[in-house]
Structure 1
Amino acid sequence: MSWKNVEIEKRGPLAIVTMDRKEKLNAFNPTLMREMTEVARSFHGDQETQAVVLTGPKDYFSAGADLTDTEMWQMDGLTDVQLRDRFYLGVRLSEAWETMPQITVCAIEKLAVGAGVALPLACDWRVMGKGAYLYVPEIKIGLNLQWGAQPRLTRLVGPARAKRIIILCERMYADQALDWGLVDEVAEDGQAKEKAIELALRSTEMPAAAVRMVKEAVNATANALNHVASYADADQSWLTSTMSAAREARKNFGSK
């Protein structure tokens, strides 16, 4: 199977998924979200692949949601069910990556913004380039943090730090992200992918069935209340996106 924005390279028990929209710094539009969901689901029944590295081009991971994409924000002519389905694209994408049986490692270079932070949070481990930064600006455009990212973020850094990241919209560079537990390794710039591959390959040296069982058990323990905390986060984004303040914020955000 082939996709427009995604390439998969197989190296024995390892798969490397490169997300490259080739425009707008890998900003997520509905097409990219659907493809990345299909890619994740293609591994669910894969008994040969034991680890998956998710990466982007060397110059960036993702600039977040594409605020200029017509399909992303156009609401006229759609039924309520169609609109709700569109707002849940990111939720399903993150769930598909989180529930993959393989160990997943995300390699982040340069920048990861908004949705580009939410997806890595659904992976098992994260590696950042030394000069890269994370940035969650959803509140600036009048939206809540969705895709199930809020409980995942809170679990990793604790409630006070989660509030600071989400509410104050501060850029977080690699050393701080490592200190706060958001990432697991920091690599030299341009080497995040190789460090992620190294980490992923170490997991493939372990008995595959045991690794899958432990991953599922740890996720079941750590994520037990995640759905309770975030089951309606896409509905909340749908609601807040229609507010006048949010519409004005989206219009002005890209010009600042």
Structure 2
Amino acid sequence: MIELSQEAGVWTITLNRPDKANALTEDMLRELCEIMERAGEARAVILTGRGKIFSAGADLDAARAGLAVSDLWERLSGAIARLPGLTIAALNGTLAGGAMGMALACDIRIAVPGAKFFYPVMKLGFLPQPSDPARMAALIGPARTKMILMGGQKVLTDEALAFGLIDRIVEPDDLAATARLLCVDTLAAPEHIAHGIKAMCH
């Protein structure tokens, strides 16, 4: 349910459970962690999904069994944030719940028209993962972060772009090609220069 392809320095990781809205089980989440922890050798990493939803977050049965508060979410977003190469979330559709952390930890987020963004942890009785609010606030500001996390608001694609939650809106047929195009200059540059520029941006 997690696909990995490696080509010319680019690792593409694809959530492939479209019949369940790419909801993440514990096994899927653990596999994502392990892949991202090995991805330091990649020059660029693209994270995307199959179907029309990027991810609905935790699988409901798994969430009830404790996955909603698992430290695997934080392990995953931390592993993504630590990668020295360029990381791109190519969001093929709606992004919800704990899966938000994966995208927030990436360097760049692109999304298809019609995608929605929401993180309804408060009404479900959980805190968000520890690093997610700070990463979100760094992108869109504290008030808008509270609007999503405390106000329970769903943000549509155009508003997400205006906020800075995503960086570009891309038609579905162009999503994969656009993500690859964003990697071209990084792949062509000396590795230490690309890594150095990313470090300087933080």
Query: Is the aligned partner of 1:188 residue 2:179?
Result: no
Indicate conservation of the 8 Å contact 2:90/2:176, yes or no. Answer: yes
Shift of residue 205, structure 1, vs aligned partner? 2.5
* 7 and 74 in structure 1: CA distance in 2 versus 1, 3 angstrom threshold: closer
Q: Which of the residues 93, 98, 103 maps onto 1:120?
A: 103
* 23 and 121 in structure 1: CA distance in 2 versus 1, 3 angstrom threshold: same
Distance (whole Å) between structure 2 residues aligned to residue 137 and residue 191 of structure 1: 30
- Please give the per-residue CA displacement for 1:97-144, whole angstroms capped at 9, x wherever unaligned: 111111100111221101222210011100000121111111121112
Shift of residue 23, structure 1, vs aligned partner? 4.2
Shift of residue 22, structure 1, vs aligned partner? 4.8
Query: Is the aligned partner of 1:132 residue 2:125?
Result: no
Q: Which of the residues 43, 54, 60 maps onto 1:50?
A: 43
- Please give the per-residue CA displacement for 1:198-222, whole angstroms capped at 9, x wherever unaligned: 1122322332211112223333xxx
Residue range with higher mean Cα deviation, 123-132 or 194-203: 194-203
Bigger strand fraction? 2
Query: Is the aligned partner of 1:68 residue 2:61?
Result: yes
Q: Over aligned residue pairs, what C-alpha RMSD do you find?
A: 1.8
Count of aligned positions: 201
Distance (whole Å) between structure 2 residues aligned to residue 193 and residue 148 of structure 1: 28
- Please give the per-residue CA displacement for 1:64-121, whole angstroms capped at 9, x wherever unaligned: 112212xx4336xxxxxxx9xx721111011011111111001112211012222100
Q: Which 4+ stretches in 1 moved above 6 angstroms?
A: none
Identity of aligned residues (%): 30
Distance (whole Å) between structure 2 residues aligned to residue 33 and residue 68 of structure 1: 14
Distance (whole Å) between structure 2 residues aligned to residue 199 and residue 102 of structure 1: 12
5+ residue gaps, structure 2:
none
Q: Which of the residues 5, 12, 23 maps onto 1:9?
A: 5
Distance (whole Å) between structure 2 residues aligned to residue 74 and residue 50 of structure 1: 37
Indicate conservation of the 8 Å contact 2:18/2:53, yes or no. Answer: no
Structure 1 counterpart of 2:164, which letter?
G
Distance (whole Å) between structure 2 residues aligned to residue 185 and residue 107 of structure 1: 10
Q: Which residue of structure 2 lines up, in the alignment, with residue 80 of structure 1?
A: none
Q: TM-score, normalised by structure 1?
A: 0.73
Distance (whole Å) between structure 2 residues aligned to residue 99 and residue 120 of structure 1: 13
Indicate conservation of the 8 Å contact 1:62/1:116, yes or no. Answer: yes
Q: TM-score, normalised by structure 2?
A: 0.91
Q: Which residue of structure 1 lines up, in the alignment, with residue 93 of structure 2?
A: 110
Query: Is the aligned partner of 1:210 residue 2:193?
Result: yes
Structure number with bigger Rg: 1
Distance (whole Å) between structure 2 residues aligned to residue 24 and residue 133 of structure 1: 17
Indicate conservation of the 8 Å contact 2:80/2:106, yes or no. Answer: yes
Structure 1 counterpart of 2:93, which letter?
K
5+ residue gaps, structure 1:
76-82, 220-256
Distance (whole Å) between structure 2 residues aligned to residue 58 and residue 41 of structure 1: 26
Q: Which residue of structure 1 lines up, in the alignment, with residue 16 of structure 2?
A: 20
